[in-house]
Structure 1
């Protein structure tokens, strides 16, 4: 059966980092994949030249390029402003009638916009983020709130929280600190509460076979590989040799709340296909 899967992200490039392999895999299996972005990411870190040229427009184009690589059938923007995060430039004063920062948007109003897309697409699956918003970006936390409410409004049957296995993340950060220069404000210990606890993860999706599409999706977000006071994550990942890239980024993780007990699943559509276990997980 052909399903429609809507991937909801806060900014362009979030899809490349967290869900690109899953998206490419679903598209190649014949499912309809839709990318929805809350903002254009106009307050992301980048070079001065790119910022002066209008970063929001640049990142919109990058999102469309990434989506084409991954096989998406549609890209939609909810139209909110990037709220920024610690270390990003100060936000300009909003123009009268300008876009509302996503993090402070009314949840019901934003959920209504997303629910309209879910209903229009007859979506069977929606991805959001874990309650922490991964690493705590306010727009990512809002994706969690808005996404769950929208799924409730639209009656979308499956909601998956895109996350990272926290245990593996902490190990990786320790190893990376030997070869990567993190910025002075980077606090590795803050990640002890970031993303998902291993015990909560319900889906561990193997995406090594789609590594070329995932790497090309990352490369499409060129603006996010430059700027800032240290090497950018996208630039570092893009330089990894193929075998290392497959090892580091060859798995994507999700949490489905209330999923019946059983082994960790390897297919994002498993519960729609009726192949998930039946006893209560939690």
Structure 2
């Protein structure tokens, strides 16, 4: 089926690769039209390589422009040829972590008028006409204001795109709206694997206390894209200011190790679920029988 069209909305360059890179590479390789919309340039990110430290917001403040190039290289690694910045490159600025002064900039994405931002996304939706939309959950996965705003803007655009009374262009109703997810059983297995490999990570027993991750029973969809982990790691390396890679592990500026997952998980927020399919054994339900999950974001779409 070559008319499948998938739209993903992410907050900053590198978010697409960390959370959904393997899925993006899989669908792109299978001939689906994969569109990535990035909401900001990630200007407030912490820079890992010392030789690039001058790019940071508190020095030259040129990180955003540099990350445009990193994102282009990452998309090439993932096989994604359709990438846009919401509105235009730099239309909204990275807000920084919750509670910092940069949240209050007039052009911060956290301060964006939601209907205005959603209107820009509606333009993309009506042009591309995706059957599937993917973004973060209500908490933005881990509470970053731009991730939360990406969720709110995507949800608003999901409704507005189908409203013939809003904006220009032919209305379009997206069939399925997904939220990214990370089951706690996967977090536990990753913690154990990293402990065995001698990689610094959070202790397994602390997983349930973390402010992110979800119950396995909440996950509706599991995409087995292990064949595309190599592409995901290559894309991670492209985001050199933000990610250090020691395959199959990676770390952000906090130095905490994580596993580059080839099985990625989602929660169906709106739309009709398709039939359950065979899951990936290494990422199955954890204890006992695997949960019944879709194994295709397009499952059930005619």
Q: Same fold (TM over 0.5)?
A: yes
SS at match of 2:84: strand
| Structure 1 position 145, deviation (Å) | 1.1
- Aligned equivalent of 1:180: 200
Change (3 A) 1:121 1:152: same
Change (3 A) 1:264 1:181: closer
Q: Equivalent residues in 2 for 1:169-248 (5 A)?
A: 169-170=187-188, 172-173=190-191, 176=194, 179-180=199-200, 192-225=210-243, 235=244, 238-241=245-248, 248=260
SS at match of 2:74: helix
Change (3 A) 1:270 1:42: same
- Aligned equivalent of 2:138: 131
Counterpart pick for 1:50 among 37, 52, 55: 55
TM-score (norm 2): 0.74
8 Å Cα contact 2:140/2:150 also seen in 1: yes
| Structure 1 position 266, deviation (Å) | 1.1
Unpaired runs of at least 5, structure 1: 183-187, 226-234, 274-282
> Is 1:251 aligned with 2:263?
yes
Unpaired runs of at least 5, structure 2: 162-172, 250-256, 277-291
Distance 2:141 2:16 in 1: 13
Runs of 4+ in 1 over 4 A off after TM superposition: 173-178, 188-191, 258-262
Change (3 A) 1:174 1:109: farther
Distance 1:46 1:67 in 2: 20
Change (3 A) 1:163 1:112: same
SS at match of 1:39: coil
Structure whose residues are more often helix by fraction: 1
8 Å Cα contact 2:184/2:207 also seen in 1: no
- Aligned equivalent of 1:162: 180
8 Å Cα contact 2:96/2:103 also seen in 1: no
| Structure 1 position 109, deviation (Å) | 1.4
> Is 1:5 aligned with 2:11?
no
Aligned residues: 249
